Each structure stands twice: as C-alpha cells, then as structure tokens.
Amino acid sequence: MSASLSIRAMAGTITSIIGKMDKKRVLVLGTGLVGSEIARDLHGHFEVTAADINPDATGRLSGEFGIKTVTADLSDQQKLRSLAAGADIIVGALPGHMGYQMIRELAPAGKDIVDISFFPEDPFTLDATAAENGITVVTDCGVAPGMGNIILGYHNSVMEVESYECYVGGLPVVREWPWEYKAVFSPIDVIEEYTRPARFVENGHLVVREALSDPGLLQFDGIGSLEAWNSDGLRTLIKTMRVPDMIEKTLRYPGCIEYLRVLREAGFFSYDPVDVKGTPVRPIDLTAALLFPKWKLGPGEEDFTVMKIIIGGRNNDGPLQIVYDLCDRYDRENGILSMARTTGYTCTAAVHLLARGMYSRKGICPPEYLGEKEENFRFIMDHLAQRGVNYVVSEKKPEQL
C-alpha cells in the first residue's frame, strides 16, 4: 500500500470513529406508515429511538431493523418529556390532533424539532416559545405541505415569483369501487382535508372556500385523468410569501369527490355529538370505525404520489415559468410506500440539515425557510434523489407557453 493510500485509509478510519462518537440522538414520535420509514432512513446515520402506542409497529422496527423502540402512550405529557430528555433532535410523526400539543409541550426541553403532522393550529403562535428556548422547529416538513414550500422558498429568493400552483395526491395503484382511495397517512388527517376550509391567494387577497370546491380534471402521463379540488395546503405560505396568486389542490381519481361531499353534507364528518337512542355519539367516530378499515392498504398493495408545481414570474432575463413534476411509485424491492418515501425523506433531509449545522435559525421555521438558501435547497434535492425520489424540472419562456 502506498503512503498516500495509507494516509487516506487512516483518515477514513478516523472520520468513521469521529462520526460514531458524534452521532446525534434522534427521537421519532409515531411509527405509522410514514414515521416508521423516517426511523428506518435515519437509522445508521443517528442513534434512533422510535416511540409509538402500537406494539406491532414498534416491534417491526426493532425486530426487522434493530432500531431501539419504546411502546408508550404519546398523549401522556410526562412520558413525552421523559423520552425527549434523551434526544438531541425530535421528529414528530403523530396524527394532526397531537402535533401542536407535542411541540408546545417539548419546546422547553431545548431540543430541535422536525414535524410532519398536519395540525390545524397556527404554528407561529409557538414562535416566541421556540425562540426563547433556543430551538429550531421545522413544521409541515412532508411532501405537500413540505417539499412544495421548499421549492417555492428557493425560487422566491432568486426571482420575482408572481404565481404558485401546487397539485398533489397520493393514491392506490388499483382503483376499487366505491372508495377508489386508500389512506396512505393518518386517516383522520385525510378527513381534515375534506372538511377544513381551503385558503388561497388571488390577486393579492386571501380567499376562503369550502374544501372540495372548484373541481377540475388534469392529465398526467402514465396515470391518466385525476380530479383536482381546493384544499387547505398553503398554510404558512399565506403569511410568509408575498406572492399575488397561490393555490394548492388535492388530486383524487375522478368521481371520488361526489361521495365525499355526500358524506360531509350528511354530517358524517362532524365532531358534534348527536343523540342516538339516548347515547351521545360523535358522527366522526362512527365514520372512522366504518371507513378506516376499508381505507387501509392491504399487504402488497401499491401506491403512487403525483405532484405538479407551476411557478410563474420573472428573473433578470424576463418572464418565465418553472414546472416541477413528481411521479413516485411504490418501492417493490424494499416494500416501501411512495407516500412514506416522498413525505418521510423530506423530513429526514431536514434532520440532516439541523444535525450538520447547515440551518440554525431559531423559532418556528416552516419549510419555505429551509429552501431560501441555495445550498440547503440543493442538499434536500440531492437527498431525495439519492433515495430515488426525483423531481423533473422544466423551464419555459413566454413564447413556449
């Protein structure tokens, strides 16, 4: 062996040893379809502990991948604080109704947080608490909201953005009557998309319409026609981006919207109790008991994630339009759902950014803040590409449109 090779080998050994010594401790809260893939992807890079109330979920992670797990009720605030005490970075992969409370409870622990839960509360109400405790809290760090925000944040920093459109959906490959849908993340959060008023920006003004409104058909290569309708996916972008026109729409198979409207208008998604033979019953609980088992993906069932982002504006060369296309499919080789990949790997990219000190802003930091720095934007795109999640980017001048 030459002297140079020997030195390189020694340097590699030293780097490996230092890497092991400096491994950050990451706590993943929630090991559902997406949370479990987040834990698996971070395992090896960090000392990972994954926690969930479901022993089957934690058992699979520990049994198949050797990940340290804890089976616990994560609504127990004392248990949450105890788990957080041993972590450097916390990942929130809980259902939306638990996300805000988790961040509020753990912010005083002084640990950075990356969260993918789709909670309805305004995250900026926790900004002062996070900043006072010297932590970075990256919220909504999934695919959409999440990657869409990162892409807009980047382009908003390098050009004058005049319009932003995001069309996104996660669907089963096989369409089955009558639902033509399977929940690839928390089903209760899926229902939120059907009930939460949709906010978008039109000519610089905030517009609020009911979810499932303004349906229309879009064509996607290799998939066919999908139905797009208004959903409340812009979230923090409404406050952080001064873009005159912004909208997000959810994609489903055509016809899906009609039965969802019927269920909603009939009250099946309501949280207000109704009297049933003297017993108060929340309709949403009955709906969950009936629908969630039917929306569950069975063993071997495949899904895909499709997203199209259209950004219009101008740079130094004049007007232009930039389009990002994603069509990601179930990973057959490793048995990983597309929604787990596209959502989870955006989250794990953010964890790497924080662990490496590449992003250090304190307080509530929605994903668009991550994308503002080109180095971070490229890092996230490369992180996804290394895992087979590829965005196809095209640019058009006005004469090409």
Q: Where in the chain is the domain with CATH 3.40.50.720?
A: 3-139
Select the more confidently predicted residue: 190 or 135: 135
Q: Specify the CATH class of 147-338+390-400 in words.
A: alpha beta
pLDDT over 90 percentage in the chain: 82
- How many residues are recorded in the chain? 401
> How many angstroms separate the first and last alpha carbons of the chain?
59
Over residues 128-154, the mean pLDDT reads 97
The pLDDT of residue 11: 40
Q: Where in the chain is the domain with CATH 3.30.360.10?
A: 147-338+390-400
Contact call for residues 84 and 105 (beta carbons, < 8 A): no
The pLDDT of residue 298: 83
- Residues 266-311: tens digit of each pLDDT: 999 999 999 999 999 999 999 988 988 888 888 889 999 999 999 9
Minimal CA–CA distance to 95: which of 119, 73, 77, 76?
A: 119
Check if CATH label 3.30.1650.10 holds for domain 3-139: no
Q: At residue 4, does pLDDT exceed 70?
A: no
pLDDT band at 14 (very low <50, low <70, confident <90, very high): very low
Q: Report the half-sphere exposure of 216 (CA within 13 A, side-chain side).
A: 7
The pLDDT of residue 399: 61
Q: At residue 19, does pLDDT exceed 60?
A: no
The pLDDT of residue 9: 44
**What is the phi/psi pair of residue 300, to 5°?**
85, -5
Contact call for residues 358 and 376 (beta carbons, < 8 A): yes
The pLDDT of residue 211: 94
What pTM value is reported for the model?
Answer: 0.91
